Amino acid sequence: MLRRTVEKLVLLAASVGMLAGCSKNEPPVVSVAPTGSVREAPQAVRDGEALFLQYCAACHPNGGNVSDPKRTLRGSVLKSNHITTPEDIVRIMRNPRSRMIRFDPSTLSDRDAVSIAEYILTTFK
């Protein structure tokens, strides 16, 4: 009973995340360079962040994983699963291994999927 309730909540959260969208008027993403100076993130990373918030953040808040906490988007976890390139992440988005929602090209273009993948690899090191 509890498992079904949790599964329904995860599906609801994912649906809300996909329908919520994101504002195009958000401030630019800013990152701190290793020297401590502040610089603006590349456009692809900003685009990837907006798309991640729209399509992924409900199930992967802060790079976590609400349905399987052992399979986060953290760099060490991705590497241990042989996921090291944007193409690896896009392949999983297109053909998920577990409970993840499938994002086919009609839902999420290849360009947008790659932007999300680059954001993940850059952000959740």
Per-residue model confidence (pLDDT) at position 4: 55
CATH number for position 47: 1.10.760.10
Question: Residue 43 belongs to what domain range?
Answer: 2-123
Contact by Cβ (8 Å): 38, 30: yes
Q: Pick the residue with more confidence: 24 or 65?
A: 65
**In whole angstroms, what is the distance from residue 14 CA to residue 57 CA?**
8
Q: Pick the residue with more confidence: 108 or 99?
A: 108
pLDDT in tens, 40-88: 567 767 899 999 999 999 999 999 999 999 999 999 999 999 999 999 9
Q: What is the mean pLDDT of the chain?
A: 78
Query: What's the domain count of the chain?
Result: 1
Q: Highest mean pLDDT: which of 16-20, 97-101, 118-122?
A: 118-122
